[in-house]
Structure 1
Amino acid sequence: MLDVAIVGGGIIGLSTAWVLLKRGYNVQVFDPDPASQASFAAAGMLAPVSEVVWDQPGLYPLMRRSRELFPDFAAAVAEESGMDVGYLPSETLVCAGDNADRVYLRELIELQSSIGEVTLLSAREARALEPGLGPGVVGAVHIPGDHQVDPRKFCAALLRILDDRVVRAKVVDAKQGAITLDDGTVVTADKVVLANGLAATDFVDLPLRPVHGDVLRLRVPKHAMPLVSRTVRAVVRGRPVYVVPRSDNQIVLGATSREDSLWGVSAEGVHQLLRDAHHIVPGIWECEIEEMTARARPGSPDDIPFIGEVSPGLIVSTGYFRHGILLSAIGAELTADVVCEKPLPTDFAEAVDVFRYGME
């Protein structure tokens, strides 16, 4: 009998399993294709400052704390696995694509500065930091504390650590004390954790919605390297876009956020991303498209995750929306605390309360 059975092998399930393993628990993760959903598509920005939006006060402390935890979190995973997890302290620039976008960035600075270091730059100052920025940039915000990790490398490292504790099987039923696999096998466990994103709603009643995102991966030609040396985010006519450089001369371009019925890559989304990215970084048009990906992220009504026990022995950790990579460090710790029956800090407990929308 297991101490903990975790349903879902994305970054949340894998990170939670690793934390519980370090705490001495006998744990297994169940997923037919680990790290293939939202974690596979994600760009991996660790960006609590540049990710903030108005009216989400419960989310800010979670993002800030997880960003504080992440350097040690990533270093420990890298050391134990012996693998590169793609953690880069490469700073972030948030650029404005026109005067209205510049006004928006200026208005947001007061909120951002309550979370981390922020400096308003002129277009000239921004280009001094990133010569690849185009003439469409009219101003920027420099955020040195917003870094990145490569989610694919990070999940691969966790999979190596967990190794035979990951069972590649589909869970068709999950309840207090047991899960049932698609071949009929029943696995018993003291605690069951649902960390399987949107699919958690197959087993519990949670107000989750699919938020689709289109992401491109491009190769920078040798003559154009480096296209950018920092993560470059931008607001272009009110639309967000980002260009994330990897250490292997690949860049990640994203991401749309759409709540529609299209599960594949959106043609409109690809066009929007390339057009808006070209406005900020014109060299993007010289790159080779290597991959186009679309995945659905699990969004809660307030875009804050649900972490807690929904019934004795049945725990959920889902609803991370677009913050799953950033929040994996704090999410794994909080979920492990719930498993260990350790009270959560009051401000975190209220924010992630699974019953805050009246679920029964």
Structure 2
Amino acid sequence: MVAYHSKPHALIVGGGVTGLTSAWVLLERGYRVTVISKEYASEEVRITSQIAGALWEWPPAVCGRHTDPISIIKSKRWCMVAYNKLEQMANDRETSEKTGVKMRLANFFFRKPVNEDSYQLAKMNEIKENLRGFRHDAAIIEELGVSKEYGVVDVYQHLAPVIDTDKYMYWLIDHVRKLGASVLTREIHGDLFTQEDSLLRQYGADVLLNCTGLSGKELANDDTVYPLRGSLVRVINDGTKFPRINQAMALSLDGREGESDLIFIVPRNDNTLILGGMTEPNQWDLGVNLENYKPIRDMYERNIKFFPPLAKGEIDPKFPVANGLRPFRKQNVRVEREDRLHEGTKKSKLVHSYGQGGAGFTLSFGCAEDLADIVDQVIAEAKTEAQPETFKSLL
């Protein structure tokens, strides 16, 4: 049995935004934390969290795949936890510079008036009630220079966190290390539930956390996990070829439009603009590019048609196309304790947080706080079980 220290020890599997944000929250709650992952953010091998569009969005996001009612309800709470935390980071000049988090205007366009679509009207009213900088005005279309020929007739905007993912992920891993986390490189295969006791003993930990994204398919023995491939074309946004774009622009894919209608234009930082988007379920190949895959060329041309100044743009020669696999589930986002029992009666000390899909940054802090609450419960139960029977009777 693991000996309990003054600080309980959490072992986190997964080094992306979900795992490292969970580490941050647990460290601030007084836990000792060890993170193990096959790989972490780097320039050599960019992980999924670096490829992410990283525009904070009120759920469901423009890719339109999180439609499970339970996920939508929970996500609306989770996303505001992240919104407030990221806004706080963005509003501190020094922190914003270190993390790459900025508050920018995000514009969402529609091909029919929002007031004539009950679904979109309800979503817009929720945004109006909860977010800052809200404005609903079709005049924004002309103000931004969006093509009238593309057929959009309505738009609203609000302030949203936008994240330079490379800068943020490098900062985040450094931050959790400074808070005291041990960050190790290791690849694990197989069902974590069956390895739970051995991993806890090996690392001297009290609770095991699964924050492995797409690898949850194997590590949580979850057949509902699947990839939703996305591709982003990266364009130089330094103001030389066209006026620098400082606002995000998106045309939603919500099940009412075709795949070819999705538009996603987001300033990654002051010098790079990312153009999307694509939502290709169960496609694992990350080798597609502008030359060998027509849908990416079509996506690029679609964004130019929507916003004509992009026709003068220069694609980033060092990193022209970024491909990533959004880790979705056919069910809802999973933030819960493992429900399988050891030997038929013993509760598991494995807790999951995966299936965030394309909303990893948007849900990061909300999921991490809920995960930490569950971890608190696991530790409290374990401490109670470790007490002598005579002491338990007094509780």
Q: Is 2:114–2:121's contact at 8 Å kept on the other side of the alignment?
A: no
Match of 1:95 in 2: 109
Gaps in structure 2 of 5+ consecutive residues: 3-7, 129-133, 341-347, 379-395
The aligned runs of 1:342-353 (5 Å cut-off) are none
SS in 1 for 2:203: strand
Pairing 1:44–2:54 present? yes
Name the amino acid aligned to 1:287.
Answer: G
Match of 1:308 in 2: 336
Match of 1:234 in 2: 251
Which of the residues 66, 70, 84 maps onto 1:58?
Answer: 70
Tell me the matched-pair count: 331
Match of 2:325 in 1: 296
Match of 1:258 in 2: 280
Report the CA distance shift for 1:255/1:19 in structure 2 as closer, same or farther (over 3 A): same
Match of 2:99 in 1: 85
| Cα shift at 1:102 | 2.5
**C-alpha root-mean-square deviation of aligned residues, in Å?**
3.0
Q: Deviations over 1:148-170 (max 9, x none)?
A: 22232222221111226211222
Q: Is 1:263–1:296's contact at 8 Å kept on the other side of the alignment?
A: no
Match of 1:329 in 2: 365
Match of 2:14 in 1: 8
SS in 2 for 1:90: strand
Match of 2:232 in 1: 215
Q: Deviations over 1:236-266 (max 9, x none)?
A: 9632121001342211112211024441235
Alignment TM-score, normalising by the size of structure 2: 0.74
Q: Deviations over 1:262-292 (max 9, x none)?
A: 4123513311221211121112222222221
Report the CA distance shift for 1:62/1:136 in structure 2 as closer, same or farther (over 3 A): farther
Match of 2:189 in 1: 172
| Cα shift at 1:66 | 3.2
Q: Is 1:214–1:269's contact at 8 Å kept on the other side of the alignment?
A: no
SS in 1 for 2:104: coil
| Cα shift at 1:147 | 3.5
Match of 1:196 in 2: 212
Pairing 1:73–2:95 present? no
Pairing 1:116–2:122 present? no
Q: Deviations over 1:43-87 (max 9, x none)?
A: 111110672759543333433333422354236768897962222
Q: Is 2:113–2:154's contact at 8 Å kept on the other side of the alignment?
A: no
Which is richer in helix? Answer: 2
Q: Deviations over 1:312-344 (max 9, x none)?
A: 1111110111111100011111111111118xx
Aligned equivalents of 1:18, 1:286: Cα separation in 2: 42
Q: Is 1:211–1:257's contact at 8 Å kept on the other side of the alignment?
A: yes
Match of 1:277 in 2: 303
Report the CA distance shift for 1:88/1:221 in structure 2 as closer, same or farther (over 3 A): closer
Name the amino acid aligned to 1:136.
Answer: E
Pairing 1:33–2:61 present? no
Name the amino acid aligned to 2:303.
Answer: A
Q: Is 1:242–1:255's contact at 8 Å kept on the other side of the alignment?
A: yes
Aligned equivalents of 2:298, 2:323: Cα separation in 1: 14
Q: Percent identity?
A: 20
Report the CA distance shift for 1:135/1:77 in structure 2 as closer, same or farther (over 3 A): closer
Q: Which protein shows a greater Rg?
A: 2
Q: Is 1:221–1:288's contact at 8 Å kept on the other side of the alignment?
A: no
Q: Is 1:49–1:115's contact at 8 Å kept on the other side of the alignment?
A: no
Name the amino acid aligned to 2:312.
Answer: E
Which is richer in strand? Answer: 1
Alignment TM-score, normalising by the size of structure 1: 0.81
Match of 2:5 in 1: none
Q: Is 2:226–2:282's contact at 8 Å kept on the other side of the alignment?
A: no
Aligned equivalents of 1:37, 1:84: Cα separation in 2: 20
Name the amino acid aligned to 1:157.
Answer: W
Q: Is 1:274–1:284's contact at 8 Å kept on the other side of the alignment?
A: no
Aligned equivalents of 1:262, 1:205: Cα separation in 2: 19
Q: Is 2:238–2:272's contact at 8 Å kept on the other side of the alignment?
A: no
